[in-house]
A and B are shown apart, each in its own frame.
Chain A
Amino acid sequence: MSDRTWRNNIIRFGVLLLLQVFLFQQVNWGWGEEDVLFIYIYPLFILMLPIQMFRPFVIALGFLMGLGVDLFYDTLGMHAAAGTFAAYLRPAIFNMVRPMNGYNIKFGPVPQDLGWPWFLRVLLLLLALDLFIFFGAQAFAPQFIGQVLLKTAVSLPPSFLMISLGVLIFNPKA
């Protein structure tokens, strides 16, 4: 893991956190008593951590990313739980969406290295997982499973779209 990668990921942590809490926190929409549409872009940080990174470290960083978001969202522990979960299952997702030739040790988890189809699939799975765990932690009771699934289903497309557009525009490097 080069200095450049370190630097990129640290910058990404800060930028995503700032965008999340100062821009996308404004988005909350729903038609009934409860808002169901939210945009969460911070899971991109977890996705873009180096593929070969020591796994417990990935998990700890996922926890920290979620915790950072939690500090501004007044949901202490919930995004942290979701980020931890997503980071823990990231290798499994990478395995599911394995490229034909496997993962080259030089590749980073970015479209320019592994292609857009790979990137979008991984993003979809990771984001869905993160959102589901977060909304689950927010509801905190099994009888709200319907509400949890609704929020996940409604929030997933806009979050997915925002992250994809951001990656497309800024074309980040590993």
Chain B
Amino acid sequence: MKSSSNSPFRFLSQMASFLTFVGLELLCLFLIINKNSDQRDIYLETKSVWTNAIGGKFSSWTNYFGLRAAHDSISELNAELLEKLFNQEVATGLSLSPLIDSLLMDTAYTDQRYQLLPAKIVMKSPYSRNGNTFNINLGRQDGVEKGQGVISERGPIGIVTHVENHYSRVMTLLDPNSKVSACLANNVHGSLMWDGDDPRYSTLHYIPDYITHPGTNDTIYTTSYSNVYPTGIPIGRIESYTPQAGSGLWQISVKLFENLLAVDHAFVVVDLDKEELEALNAAAE
């Protein structure tokens, strides 16, 4: 072998050698697999193992992507159903759903007492320590009256203070003038008021310390005593509590479930028995 390592002929010769080698070895492999039963069995077994392994991986992949597709379609379906639900409620002006109504219904009444009117919050006053109001897209024509409560899925929002034909104004819980009748789980009730400090917190007053002792993280609920909200809507969780000096009362800081600065839709609570209850009050006077 002369030192002709750089010549193109040598390169071509190497390429030709390599291709001949690979081609003949492949031919050998073909012969081995097709003409020898042991090797064919091993080949078929190996092939099936690998095919299954790769096929299994592939099918789990396709399942995964199928999952995503299923999720998308379910999301679309959900949106469609919610849309239908809300549209229907807007169209009929009737309740959100029988389920929620029955949950909110006072057990003492066999008839339906509350109706929920789905509303959109169309305007919010700028956040202020001195009071926060919303405007909602329901008014007198929709059956909204002054003094009705407004709630969301996560808790009470406020009370209707002014009604026009198509719109109403709501004084939210974040208003120094707002008072919500609220109770602990054991039905000891007090009054929830906002002290203007923090929109996430409100304060529960008038819980006597000789009757009950609150616990951190206890849930507090609405009561229907003031004819605004149905009974038992969760409002928030007790963050902290301190005895009010000299009064025998607790001052309970409550973290609200609903973020009142972010909420964008609500339900007006229509109390169907309101007239009757007010007539009773008037008669007593």
**B-binding residues in A (CB < 8 A):** 51-52, 54-56, 59-60, 63, 66, 70, 75-78, 80-81, 84-85, 88, 91, 94, 102-103, 105, 137-138, 140-141
Question: B31 — which chain A residues lie within 8 A by C-beta?
Answer: 70, 76-77, 80
Known A63-B24, A78-B36, A88-B21: A55·B14 in contact at CB below 8 Å: yes
CA–CA, A70 and B2, complex, Å: 35
- Distance (whole angstroms) from the CB of B27 to the closest CB of chain A: 8
Question: A105 — which chain B residues lie within 8 A by C-beta?
Answer: 2
Question: B35 — which chain A residues lie within 8 A by C-beta?
Answer: 76-77
A interface: dominant SS: helix
**A-binding residues in B (CB < 8 A):** 1-2, 13-14, 16-21, 24-25, 27-33, 35-36, 38-39, 42-43, 46
List 11 other contacts, CB 8 Å, given A54-B13, A77-B31, A137-B28: A52-B1, A56-B19, A77-B35, A80-B27, A81-B29, A84-B24, A91-B1, A102-B1, A103-B1, A140-B32, A140-B42
Question: A85 — which chain B residues lie within 8 A by C-beta?
Answer: 21, 25
Q: In the complex the two chains form, is A140's CB within 8 Å of B28's CB?
A: no
- 4 nearest A-B residue pairs (beta carbon): A77-B31, A81-B28, A77-B32, A76-B35
Q: In the complex the two chains form, is A59's CB within 8 Å of B2's CB?
A: no
Q: In the complex the two chains form, is A59's CB within 8 Å of B17's CB?
A: yes
Partner of B1, one of A60, A66, A81, A94: A94
CA–CA, A54 and B20, complex, Å: 12
Chain B minimum-CB-distance residue to A80: B28
CA–CA, A77 and B36, complex, Å: 9
Q: Could you list some 21 contacts between A and B, CB below 8 A?
A: A55-B13, A59-B17, A60-B20, A66-B28, A76-B31, A77-B27, A77-B30, A77-B32, A78-B28, A80-B27, A81-B25, A81-B28, A81-B32, A84-B28, A88-B21, A103-B1, A137-B32, A138-B39, A140-B39, A140-B42, A141-B42
- Distance (whole angstroms) from the CB of A38 to the closest CB of chain B: 17
